[in-house]
Amino acid sequence: MKTATINPWRKPLLALAAIAALAAPALSQDMALPDWVDNDSERRGYEIAMRSDNSDNGFADSRVEATMVLRNAAGQETSRELSFQTLERADNTVGDKSIVVFNTPADVEGTALLSHARILEPDDQWLYLPALARVRRISSANKSGPFVGSEFAFEDFTAVELNKYEHNYLDTAQISVGGETLTVDVVERFPRYGNSGYSRQVSYIDQEVYQIRRIEFFDRRGDLLKTLDLADYREYGDGIWRSHALTMTNHQTGKSTELNYGEFEFGVGLSDNDFVRGVLERQY
Amino acid sequence: MNSTLRLLRSLAMPLLILAAVLFGATAAHARGEWDTGGSAGTEARVFAEAPAWPGQEDGAQFSIILEGDFRWRSEDRRHHVVLVPWARIDSLDGERTHADLREGFYRYIGDGFTVETGVIKVFWGVAESRHLVDIVNQTDLVEDSDGEDKLGQPALRVTHQTGWGRLEGYILPGFRERTFPGLDGRLRGPLPVDTDAPVYEHADEERHVDIAARWSHFLGDWDVGLAAFHGTSRAPAFRRTPDGQALQPYYAIISQLSADVQLTRGAWLWKGEALVREGQGHTFGAFTGGLEYTFYGITRSGADFGVLIEYHHDGRDSDPAIAPPTTFNNDVFLGGRFAMNDFNDTSLLGGAIVDTENGSIAGLIEAERRFGSHIFLEVEGRFTLDVDPQDGLFAVRRDDALTLRLTRHF
- Residue B316: its pLDDT value, please? 97
The pLDDT confidence band at residue A4, using thresholds 50, 70 and 90, is very low
Please give the distance of CA B174 from its chain centroid, rounded to a whole number: 18
ipTM, two decimals, is: 0.91
Contact criterion met (CB < 8 Å) for A133 and B407? no
pLDDT confidence of residue B273: 98
Q: What tens digit of pLDDT does each residue of A209-233 get?
A: 999 999 999 999 999 999 999 999 9
Best of A101, A113, A139 to mutate (most B CBs within 10 Å, chain B): A139
Residue B141 domain boundaries: 2-409
Gap between the Cα atoms of B337 and B365, Å rounded: 10
What are the pLDDT tens digits along chain B (410 aa)?
Answer: 455 555 555 555 656 666 666 666 565 556 788 999 999 999 999 999 999 999 999 999 999 999 999 999 999 889 999 999 999 999 999 999 999 999 999 999 998 899 999 999 999 999 999 999 999 999 999 999 888 999 999 999 999 999 899 999 999 999 999 999 999 999 999 999 999 989 999 999 999 999 999 999 999 899 999 999 999 999 999 999 999 999 999 999 999 999 999 999 989 999 999 999 999 999 999 999 999 999 988 988 889 999 999 999 999 999 999 999 998 999 999 999 999 988 899 999 999 999 999 999 999 999 999 998 899 999 999 999 999 998 889 999 999 999 999 999 99
Instruction: For residue A170, give Cα distances in angstroms to A102, A206, B49, B274.
Output: 39, 14, 70, 57
Asked if the C-beta of A262 comes within 8 angstroms of chain B's C-beta atoms, the answer is: no
All residues of chain A having their beta carbon less than 8 Å from the beta carbon of residue B148 are 132
Question: Does A104 sit within 8 Å of B161, measured CB to CB?
Answer: no
Mutate to test the interface with A, among B343, B366, B370 (most CBs of A within 10 A): B343
For residue A219, which of A251, A193, A246 has the smallest C-alpha distance? A251
Determine, for residues A149 and B342 on separate chains, whether the beta-carbon distance falls below 8 Å: yes
Domains defined for chain A, CATH in brackets: 41-282 (2.50.20.10)
The answer to whether A66 and A56 have CB atoms below 8 angstroms apart is no
Provide the β-strand partners of residue A242.
A234
In total, chain B counts a number of residues equal to 410
- What residues in B contact A150, CB-CB < 8 Å? 343
Buried b (16+ CB within 10 A) or exposed e, B175-204: bbbbbbbbbbbbbbbebbbbbeebebbbee
Chain B residues closer than 8 Å to A135 by CB: 123
- Cut 0.95: pTM above it: no
Residue A109 gets the label, from left (phi > 0), alpha (psi -120 to 50) or beta, of beta
Q: Most confidently modeled of A70-74, A95-99, B259-263? A: B259-263
Single-letter code of the amino acid located at B223: D
pLDDT at A16 over 50: no
Contact A58, A88 (CB under 8 A): yes
DSSP B69-86: EEEEEETTS-EEEEEEEE
- Determine the Cα–Cα distance for residues B326 and B309; give it in Å rounded to an integer: 19
CA distance A25 to chain B (A): 30
Instruction: Please tell me which residue of chain B has the smallest CA distance to A197.
Output: B297
The answer to whether residues A64 and A82 touch, using CB atoms and an 8 Å cutoff, is: no
Give the largest Cα separation in chain A, rounded: 57
Sheet-wide strand order for B199-200: B199-200, B247-251, B237-240
Chain A residues whose beta carbon lies within 8 Å of the beta carbon of residue B263: none
Question: What total of structural domains would you count in chain B?
Answer: 1
Chain B residues touching A141 at Cβ < 8 A:
266-267, 294, 296
Q: Which residues contact B342 (CB under 8 A, 6 or more apart)?
A: A146, A149, B301
Burial class (CB in 10 A: 0-12, 13-18, 19+), A15: exposed
Contact (CB<8Å) B370/A107: yes
What CATH number does residue B394 fall under? 2.40.160.10
Separation CA A216–CA A198 (nearest Å): 10
Asked whether residue A22 carries a pLDDT value surpassing 50, the answer given is no
